[in-house]
Amino acid sequence: MSHLATRFGRNARILNARDGALDEDQLRAVVPSVFAEEAHMSRSDRYTYIPTIDIVRGLAAEGFSPVYACQATPRDDTKLGHTKHMLRFRNYQGPAILNKEVNEIIMINSHDGTSAYQLLSGVFRFICTNGMVCGNSFEATRVHHKGNIVDDVIDAAYSVVEDFARVDSQVDRMKAISLRPAETDAFATAALAIRYTDAETGTVDSPVQPWQVLQPRRREDVNQADVWTTFNRVQENMIRGGLHGRTQGSNGRMRRTSTRPVNGIDGNVSLNRALWTLAEKMAEIKSAH
């Protein structure tokens, strides 16, 4: 039995195996939409329904085991058993499991019409038990709910695997490039702008300061200022939340607050990919000089 971390939040329920793989009983208890027996009643006859667990079993037969599962919390209770869910898969047959990072396949799906199957590249960092989503230079593969879905999704998964060498190359490049204090501050400032820019006004209203999202959470990251470590510090602090800050209330007065974890599937993936892309661009700029 894997050691598990389970969270039930406002936006999602999350199941994370700290070691080993998740079994079907564990998945069923936290992400029931993986086992939906039919599509949501809103879907038409053209919708090809294949339960996500069939994909999970198909990937398991290819050597990829689920290690993380997340299910959105819908506003419409009738969609609870069909709502969007995300799983991360890891190949335990290869030597990469012994390294500090390991590549993962990320799969997103729903049975209520809100998502096709999406396959993305991911990286898991063992030091902080933290999962990242690769940036926009690694395209997400979509498989719509029609035709031979199981085979199409497995083919898409192997397309993700083919990108692993390029992912490893980017990680190595980020690790090899050092940043000056002003550059790490610029990275954190840009990251906060991504997270807290008001879409209507264009203003940034961050409750915390750049130095806060740069703080290391473990001794392995202390005194490390390469692009990879800087990216990981910022990503973990922003995704997991819990940073103390101040924000302006409706009465105009400043009040204490804490940043919230980014548990929602769409928000988590979007922020993760944006931060990875920011790290890529920082590495490119530094390499050019």
Contacts (Cβ under 8 Å, ≥6 apart) of 132: 122, 123, 124, 125, 232, 235, 272, 276
Q: Are residues 144 and 220 in the same domain?
A: no
Q: How many domains does the chain have?
A: 2
Q: Are residues 115 and 22 in the same domain?
A: yes
Question: Which residues, listed in sequence order, are joined to residue 106 by a DSSP beta bridge?
Answer: 88, 120
Per-residue confidence of the chain (289 residues) as pLDDT tens digits? 444 454 544 556 788 776 678 999 999 888 888 887 765 445 445 555 678 888 899 999 999 999 999 888 766 655 555 688 899 998 865 444 444 788 999 999 887 666 678 899 999 887 656 678 888 778 788 877 676 778 888 898 999 999 999 999 999 999 999 999 999 999 999 999 999 998 888 888 899 999 999 998 888 788 889 999 999 999 999 999 999 988 876 677 778 889 998 988 888 999 999 999 999 999 999 988 7
Q: Are residues 198 and 250 in the same domain?
A: yes
Q: For strands 85-91 and 64-72, give the pairing.
A: antiparallel
Structural domain harbouring 234: 177-288
Q: Are residues 205 and 167 in the same domain?
A: no
